[in-house]
Amino acid sequence: MRIAIGADHAGYGLKQVLLEEGLSGHEVIDVGTHDTSSTDYPIYALRVARLVSSGEADLGVLICGTGIGMSIAASRVAGIRAALCTSEYMARMARAHNDANVLCLGGRVVGPGQALAILQVFLETGFQGGRHVRRLRLIEEGGAG
Ligand code: RB5
């Protein structure tokens, strides 16, 4: 798979772990950041989201301190369903039910072992389709209410 990955300074360390231990065998596009100097998470969220939205990447991974800012910013890009996951269960459901195409992690929330397990589940799980297609369509259409 082609995976786009990005992080701010608070997610940089975990990004390096995922690059070294979690993404071998995949084609990876690392959009930065490349050190721990303070920077702004929306820069990387939007880079990764645009790569996924355009089809240049199949899935994205974003890491900041909590994962919250990344998930908010990335989900503003058309076609992006960014999911903040703190457990393997959340990662499985994010793919199976929500067809999430960007995984967001908190570098100050989950440890490297947990993050690697979450990433693995996210990459291995497919979208279930069925009733979930209707729900995603409602999101795209702006809701039925
Ligand atoms: C940076 O201090 C922090 O605000 C950022 O990494 C992230 O957690 C924002 O959501």
Residue 102 β-bridge partners: 60, 82
**Whole-model pTM?**
0.97
List the CATH number of the domain containing 98.
Answer: 3.40.1400.10
Q: Specify the number of domains making up the chain.
A: 1
Please give the number of the atom of ligand 1 that sits closest to the Cα of 64.
Answer: 6
Predicted local distance difference test score (pLDDT) of residue 112: 98
The per-residue pLDDT for 145 is 67
pLDDT of residue 142: 87
Distance CA 32, CA 87 (A): 24
Tell me how far the alpha carbon of residue 77 lies from the centroid of ligand 1, in angstroms. Answer: 19
Q: Whose CA is nearest to atom 9 of ligand 1?
A: 69
56 neighbors 101 (Cβ within 8 angstroms): no
Kindly report the protein residue whose alpha carbon is nearest to atom 10 of ligand 1: 69
**pLDDT at position 143:** 73
pLDDT at residue 96, rounded to an integer: 98
**Which residue ranges in the chain fall short of pLDDT 50?**
none
Q: Is 92 exposed, middle or buried (0-12, 13-18, 19+ CB in 10 A)?
A: middle
Q: Is the CB of 66 under 6 A from ligand 1?
A: yes
**One-letter amino acid identity for 12?**
Y
DSSP class of 91: H
What DSSP element (H or E) covers 94? helix 88-96
Residue type, 59: L
Strand partners, 64: 106
Which residues constitute the domain of residue 53?
Answer: 2-141
Write the pLDDT tens digit of every residue in 49-91.
Answer: 999 999 999 999 999 999 999 999 999 999 999 999 999 999 9
The rounded Å distance from CA 35 to ligand 1 centre is 15
Task: Please tell me if the CB atom of residue 107 comes closer than 6 angstroms to any atom of ligand 1.
Answer: no
